[in-house]
Structures are given as C-alpha cells and as structure tokens.
Chains A and B, each alone.
Chain A
Amino acid sequence: NAGVMQNPRHLVRRRGQEARLRCSPMKGHSHVYWYRQLPEEGLKFMVYLQKENIIDESGMPKERFSAEFPKEGPSILRIQQVVRGDSAAYFCASSPQGLKTEAFFGQGTRLTVV
C-alpha cells in the first residue's frame, strides 16, 4: 500500500511563473490537507479538501494560491506568479475520514523561487 505521494520533490521557478504541486493520497483516503513550512518554523495549515470539495481554506493566501481535489486524479496546489517569499517546503497529508482519523504525510515538495 503506497504512502502519500507528492511530486515533484524539488521545484525551481523564476519569479512570476506558476508552480503546480501534486499530491496523491494513500489508497482509500479521500481527505487531503496542505501545509507550508519555512526553515526552522512549524507547519502552517493552508487548506483542507475532500474529494471535489474545499472544506476549509482559511490558511490560504487570498491571492495567487488555489487548491483542488478532483474526483479523479491527485490534489493540486497551484501558486500563480510566484515570488521569493513563496520559497518553502509544501507538505500534503491524507486521512481516510478527516479529522477523526490519523493523517499521514507525503515527502513534501521543496519550492525554490529564483
């Protein structure tokens, strides 16, 4: 049973480009969380999605950031017009039944904006 898969593991983008980060949850999991982590800092909640629905996006910046979790395929975190401050590690986690159950993390995507 494969774990949570994130790709790419490393992503370099120039300022102004778009970044698309993918997260495939564990088999049987329909809930996905996205987090951002800056060096030496904690995990900052961004968004919680269930298949085809955004449950809580209170941690998402109002502009340039969006997330989706379609019926088929991985969850996507999209960052438009990236700036240097977007450089961070982005982690996703999945769980079978939301907050009542354990969530497991992927390996993360390290985004570097140059």
Chain B
Amino acid sequence: QKEVEQNSGPLSVPEGAIASLNCTYSDRVSQSFFWYRQYSGKSPELIMSIYSNGDKEDGRFTAQLNKASQYVSLLIRDSQPSDSATYLCAVGAGTALIFGKGTTLSVSS
C-alpha cells in the first residue's frame, strides 16, 4: 500500500525562524511531489510542486526532493504567525495522489 508519512507535530517555532517540515513516501516510482497548506476549516491550498531531485525556491518557501532516500521537505524562512497551519505533503503515486496526515505548524510572535 502506498504511504506518505509526516510527523504530526505540533512544530513550534518563533517568528522569524526557519520551519522545517519533512515527509517520506513508500512508492519508489513516484514522480510528482507537492506541499499544501490547510487552515482549520478550510480547503488545502497549493504551496509548492517539485518533480526532480534538488531544491526549488519560491519566495520564503524552499522544497527539497531526494528520490534515492524517498524524502521530501519544505523549509519556510522568516516564519510568520500567519504561517500557522497544517502542512500536507502529497505524492503522485501510480494512479493516485496520496496525502500524508499533515504536520501542524505553530509560529509564535
């Protein structure tokens, strides 16, 4: 069974710090990887997509992919209280887009 694993948290960081979120996946042939943010009671919002090994930066966000280790991460620089949310890792595995259970991030001011 294809699985995506994330630490549930909560991950607590002070305002201005770097938040590091991690994700591992089981299906070696996965080709597409995504990070979503979900505020309580709202729908998931796409933050980043990454398809090849290495880093991809977009503003304060950097996604990192290591297919050999089956590992995806998201770094959030200069964390803000508005970044407090649940972050979902999603992996395109075979014929399904599978989500982890999410990591709750809390940024304190």
Contacts and interface: CB of A to CB of B under 8 A. Distances in A.
Interface of A: 33, 35, 41-45, 48, 55-56, 58-59, 91, 93, 99-108
Interface in B73-99: 88, 90, 92, 94-99
Contacts of A107: 42-43
Contacts of A58: 96
B17 interface: no
Interface residues of B, number: 23
5 contacts: A33-B97, A42-B100, A48-B95, A56-B95, A99-B95
Nearest to A100: B32
Nearest to A41: B101
B25 interface: no
Interface of B: 31-32, 34, 36, 42-46, 49, 51, 88, 90, 92, 94-102
A102 B96 contact: no
A91 B46 contact: no
A99 B29 CA distance: 12
B39 to A, nearest CB: 12
Contact of B34 (A42, A44, A102): A102
B98 A99 contact: no
B99 A103 contact: no
A47 to B, nearest CB: 9
Contacts of A108: 43
Contacts of B51: 100
A27 B96 CA distance: 21
B43 A99 contact: no
Contacts of A103: 34, 46, 90, 97
